[in-house]
Amino acid sequence: MRWAVAWGVLASLGAGAARAQETAGEARAPGFCAFVRGVGDAEAAVLLAPDVFASVGLVNAGEAGGGAGVPLGGPTPRLTAGLSYDVVGLYRGLTLRRRAEAECERYQAMAALQAAVKRGPDVGAEAALAERSRVLEGALPEAEQLLASLRVDVREGRATVEELNALQLRLDGLRALAHETARERERLAALPSPTERPLSTWLQELRAADDRVEEESAGLRRATAWSVRLRGGYDELINVRQDMPLFGMLTVSYNLGGLWQPAANARAREGRRLALEEDVQGVSQEVGRLVRELRATHGMEETRLREVTVLVGDLEGQLKELQAMETAKVRRYRDYLVLELARLRAEQAWLKAHVAELGRFLGEERP
């Protein structure tokens, strides 16, 4: 009886420690992860713990007596109690927990990929817009000063109204670009947050996690063919002399259908991998289309960035040469160059940041 009590105490302590660790880990877990872990732990709880059993009844026992037709022994009360443990249940319970962790990792990778798909062509635009906004915020005050100075020149007859209107139009173009940039940043702020990791990393993790889910599921199917059970406890016949009213046994069984499981599990694993890639509306196909679109954008913007860099360098050189000249016509042309250079620098900042973000986001994935 003491052996049975000891088993019960150890099982209770183990279950309590496991629950404490799970509660601490789930406090920071996403909702879906908390769900699958809770389901896995609930199913594993009855597999990891032993069964407690007890029975009371009457059996034929004792010494034979009487003559012909008298049964061997007589009705004797019997009390049996103990523990039963399925060793295969230990493997199945731990496998359920591992599968829950794999499902959590698959969900996190799927969520990151779906967030990227929802952003679509806007991937990487947030950082690019921030850079363009920074350049425009620095250029607009100088452009305002140039316009104010030109208005003074118009009033004093040193400049024409046409020159004022031309500069006003260029300044309005910069203001419109700044307004559009602010509006786009507000729109992107409402979309799912972009992932900080390359898209290829999340796609690899999705495939690996999905494969682990199937691998653990195959392990659970294999385990159903086996049964390894330990039973032990207290067994007493009341009013019958027994030297040691204890018992223990080990029972092992195997279902021959398990011989055909490995090939079937291998087909299931390969089929699941293909299904993940072939699903037309699945995330793999969506990510593949997004990657192709972003790669085309990346290539075009790299070319445009080289062109704009050449233009910025040329205008900066011209502006430097004009700094020493003080004629009215030179000042008008210099003002034009300042505003045009501000526009090109804003575009250059956008392209630099966007090309860098797209390169980081795409990684090395070749779907």
Q: Rounded to whole angstroms, how far apart are CA atoms 317 and 341?
A: 11
Model pLDDT, residue 14: 45
Q: What is the full per-residue pLDDT of the chain (367 aa) written as tens digits?
A: 334 434 443 344 344 444 444 444 444 567 899 999 999 999 999 999 999 989 998 887 655 444 444 455 678 888 899 999 999 999 999 999 999 999 999 999 888 888 878 777 788 888 899 999 999 998 888 888 888 887 887 787 777 778 778 888 888 988 999 999 999 888 888 777 666 677 778 888 888 999 999 999 999 999 999 999 999 998 888 877 778 888 899 999 999 999 999 999 999 999 988 888 887 567 777 887 888 888 888 889 999 999 999 988 888 888 777 766 655 666 777 777 888 888 899 999 999 998 988 888 887 444 4
DSSP type of residue 257: G
Model pLDDT, residue 19: 47
Question: What are the boundaries of each domain within the chain?
Answer: 2-60+75-118+200-278, 125-191+282-360
| CA R_g for the chain | 39
DSSP type of residue 194: P
Q: Rounded to whole angstroms, how far apart are CA atoms 290 and 358?
A: 11
Structure tokens at 322: 């004009």
Helices 161-189 and 328-362 pack at an angle, to 10 degrees, of 20
Model pLDDT, residue 54: 92
DSSP assignment of 340-357: HHHHHHHHHHHHHHHHHH
Burial class (CB in 10 A: 0-12, 13-18, 19+), 16: exposed
Q: In angstroms, how far is the first alpha carbon of the chain from the final one?
A: 63
Alpha-helix runs per DSSP H in the chain: 2-26, 31-48, 87-119, 125-155, 161-189, 199-223, 261-278, 283-322, 328-362
170 Cβ neighbours under 8 A, 6+ residues apart: 143, 336, 339, 340, 343
Model pLDDT, residue 120: 76
- What is the three-class DSSP state of 250? strand
Taking alpha carbons only, the member of 340, 345, 206 closest to residue 285 is: 206
Model pLDDT, residue 6: 41
Q: Rounded to whole angstroms, how far apart are CA atoms 61 and 230?
A: 26
- What is the three-class DSSP state of 28? coil
Taking alpha carbons only, the member of 62, 80, 82, 81 closest to residue 72 is: 62
Taking alpha carbons only, the member of 183, 132, 148 closest to residue 342 is: 132
